[in-house]
Amino acid sequence: MLNISSQESIRSLKLSKNIKTLEKVEAKQSTQVIIRLSMAFFAILLIVMFIPWTQNIQSSGLVTTLKPDQRPQSIPSIIAGRIEKWYVQEGDYVSKGDTILHISEIKDEYFDPELLARTKNQRDAKQGSVGAYAEKVSALDKQIAALQATSNFKLSQSKIYIQQSELKVIADSIDLEAAKTNKEIAQLQYDRMETLYEKGLKSKTDLENRRLKLQEAQAKLISAESKLLSSRQEVERARVEISSIENQYLDQISKAQSEKYTALSSMYNAEADLTKLENQYSNYEVRTNMYYIKAPQSGYVSRTTKSGIGQTVKEGDEIVSIMPLRYDLAVEMFVDPIDLPLMYEGLHVRVQFDGWPAIVFSGWPNASYGTFGGTVYAIDQFISPNGKYRVLVAPDETDHKWPDAIRVGAGTKNMVLLDDVPIWYELWRQVNGFPPNFYTPAQTTTTK
């Protein structure tokens, strides 16, 4: 036959005493060893698949500060000017209120060195004008009061005179009635005397005496009537006098009031001008103080954007940047929108700082070295221009203190710690592209 059997070939090889290596290989149980190793490997792999694995969200970030006033601050020039002198240099420590540099004026409307003094003189002069108008108004008030008092007095006198005239009219009326009565009596007596004279009982002398008395009674009647008319004219004249007095003093009071209102109008205009001058003086005074740019808070001069002497700066131009002396570190990181529902305040984060040695096991944070603990402090409610959401991380007070050598602006790598799951589940999730588990913590306490 073809002699294909492997046993025959091995047997034939064994006949040769020169092939000793083949005898050694043939004597080992290689197949069983491979099987045992494979079984052990799969057993270990199966055990490993059930080891807990901490789900996490990894993101890069930057070191910042919790409070806005603790971040690097750029000091701008409030007014346009020319740099005259620098009092600091980069790296210097400055206290709050220290002078950083001095600038001079470049606008022609502020060139006058006596601008403040002249503006103050204008303000004082206008203030004196306001006082003068106020005095004039006070004097006119007194004049109006005096005119009103005089008018009331004159009117009282006229009213009393009217009452006297009316009483005189009444008296003259009574006298007129008496004169009429006397005239009637004299007429009756004359008529009787004339009758008796015609009968010869009385003499002509008696008749003439009666005629004389009748004429006297008529004269008295006419005089009484004349008096009554004169009294009535006096009443009318008194009433006309009252109207004249009222019109006279009303005209004088109205004229004084008109002058008063004119003075008030001038005073108000002067007060408006005074307010403008005071505002202008305050603006000039504040602008003068802006020639010296001072440090708003204590810190270190980190960078100067303008240099040299004689260089001009515009309004709002950044001149120097100051890093505050005291600040509370924090980390700002950005997460994808798909991971945003997993974020909540108080969530634990592991932070690795650039330049700081660390050994990191993302699934076993407790086994990592060189990372520092943090908690989610705040989450933005709107998306950032880079298409992610900004999350602010504060130091964890219960963990190790963050290194003092860390400075604002340093880079970081962050791991947001989520739920604990088996490794097999995590591999299955990664293969399928599913997000980490969404769960609600039993209790979260956030202290700000």
> Does domain 52-71+327-448 sit in CATH 3.40.50.170?
no
pLDDT tens-digit map of 390-435: 999 999 888 888 888 888 888 998 888 776 677 777 777 777 766 6
Structure tokens given for 67: 């409070």
Q: For the segment 168-177, what is each residue's pLDDT rounded down to a tens digit?
A: 888 878 888 8
> Of the CATH numbers 3.40.640.10, 2.60.40.420, 2.40.50.100, 1.20.1250.20, which one belongs to the domain with range 73-105+291-324?
2.40.50.100
Is a pLDDT exceeding 70 seen at residue 442? no
Global pTM?
A: 0.56
Tell me how far apart the alpha carbons of residues 413 and 391 are, in angstroms, rounded to a whole number. 13
Question: Residue 366: what residue type?
Answer: N
Residue-wise pLDDT for 375-401, tens only, equals: 999 999 899 898 899 999 999 888 888
> What residues form DSSP beta bridges with 54?
420
pLDDT at 331: 93
pLDDT digits (tens, 9 = 90+) for 144-193: 999 889 888 888 888 888 888 888 888 878 888 888 888 888 888 878 88
Contacts of 62 (CB under 8 A, 6+ apart): 331, 332, 409, 410, 411, 412
- The span from the CA of 290 to the CA of 161, in Å, is 77
Q: Where in the chain is the domain with CATH 2.40.50.100?
A: 73-105+291-324
For the chain, give the longest Cα–Cα distance: 229
- Sorted by sequence, the CB contacts under 8 Å of residue 432 that are 6+ apart come out as none
- Give the residue range(s) of CATH 2.40.30.170 domains in the chain: 52-71+327-448
What is the CATH topology of the domain spanning 115-289? Answer: Helix Hairpins (1.10.287)
Q: How much of the chain is in helix, strand and coil states, percent to nearest 5? A: 50, 20, 30
Helix (H, G, I), strand (E, B) or coil at 94: strand
Looking at the DSSP assignment, which residues form a beta bridge with residue 422?
52
Q: Tell whether the torsion through CA atoms of 397, 401, 407 and 410 is positive or negative.
A: negative
What are the backbone dihedrals phi and psi of residue 112, each rounded to the nearest 5 degrees, phi first?
Answer: -60, 120
Average pLDDT over residues 94-107: 90
Is it the case that residue 298 has pLDDT exceeding 80?
Answer: yes
The CATH 1.10.287.620 portion of the chain extends over: 115-289
Element (H, E) at 386: none
Closest CA to 351 of 399, 417, 415: 415
How many other CB atoms are there within 10 angstroms of residue 430's CB atom? Answer: 9
- Taking the C-alpha atoms of residue 366 and residue 393, their distance in angstroms, rounded to an integer, is 19
Burial of 252 per CB tally in 10 Å (0-12, 13-18, 19+): middle
